[in-house]
Amino acid sequence: MAFAVPPDERAVGKARRILRDALISWGAEADEEIPDAELVASELLTNALRHAPREELALTAAEGGGSLLIEVEDGGNPASVPTVQQAVPEEAVSGRGMTIVDAVAESWSWRPLPDGRRSTWALLPWHSEATR
pLDDT along the chain (132 residues), means of 10: 92 95 88 90 91 88 93 83 58 64 92 89 83 40
Compute CA 5 distance to the chain's CA centroid, rounded to the nearest angstrom: 12
Q: Which of 84, 65, 71, 54 is nearest to 15 (CA)?
A: 71
SS3 state of residue 69: strand
How many residues in total does the chain contain? 132
pLDDT at 92: 44
Taking residue 48's Cβ as centre, other Cβ atoms within 10 Å add up to 29
pLDDT at 52: 83
With 0-12 / 13-18 / 19 or more C-beta atoms within 10 angstroms meaning exposed / middle / buried, residue 121 is buried
Four-CA torsion 24, 47, 100, 98, nearest 10 degrees: 130
